[in-house]
DNA sequence: ATAAGGGCACCGC
DNA sequence: CGCGGTGCCCTTA
């Protein structure tokens, strides 16, 4: 399956993640056609130049662990905590409940 | 044309 | 159930 999406498109979608919720690289990838684009999504987010406008810190790993961040995982965790999302041992507390799916994201 | 990257799912132990 | 290894074959530099 060919998707062809750019960094810009990923950022647009990321902007839709509401405050206090999180999603995963895989979920974003699904929005572009297949979960196997998850890697590319990570690269696209890393390329994010408008860190304030795009909440890329709300994108975490599918297993609940926060994953990486261009400014360091510590910073990512700090930003999440500011929004009321608690992280314990590198893992998002209540990950399942806070997770927002592609369909929810697209119907916004 | 190549390497690296903020990942995912599956398998074996 | 948890951990490590492996294939997948995307985008950007």
CB atoms closer than 10 angstroms to residue A83: 16
User: From the alpha carbon of A60, which nucleotide's C1' atom is closest?
Assistant: B6
Q: How far apart are CA A16 and CA A74, in angstroms?
A: 23
Q: What is the pLDDT of residues A56-67, one digit of tens each?
A: 999 999 999 999
Q: Does the CB of A79 fall within 7 Å of any strand B atom?
A: no
| Mean pLDDT, residues A15-44 taken together | 93
Q: Give the model confidence (pLDDT) of A68-103 as tens digits.
A: 898 888 999 999 999 999 998 889 999 999 999 999
Q: Give yes or no: A7 in active site.
A: no
CB-contacts to strand C (7 A): A 2-7, 36-37, 39-40, 43-44, 47
Mean per-residue pLDDT of chain A: 90
């Amino acid at each position: 399956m060919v998707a062809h999406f750019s960094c810009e498109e990923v950022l647009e979608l990321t902007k839709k993640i509401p405050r206090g919720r999180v999603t995963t690289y895989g979920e974003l990838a699904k929005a572009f056609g297949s979960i196997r684009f998850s890697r590319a999504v990570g690269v696209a987010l890393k390329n994010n130049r408008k860190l304030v406008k795009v909440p890329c810190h709300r994108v975490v790993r599918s297993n609940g662990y926060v994953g990486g961040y261009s400014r360091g995982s510590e910073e990512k965790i700090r930003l999440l905590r500011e929004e009321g999302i608690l992280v314990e041992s590198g893992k998002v507390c209540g990950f399942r409940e806070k997770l927002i799916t592609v369909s929810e994201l697209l119907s916004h």
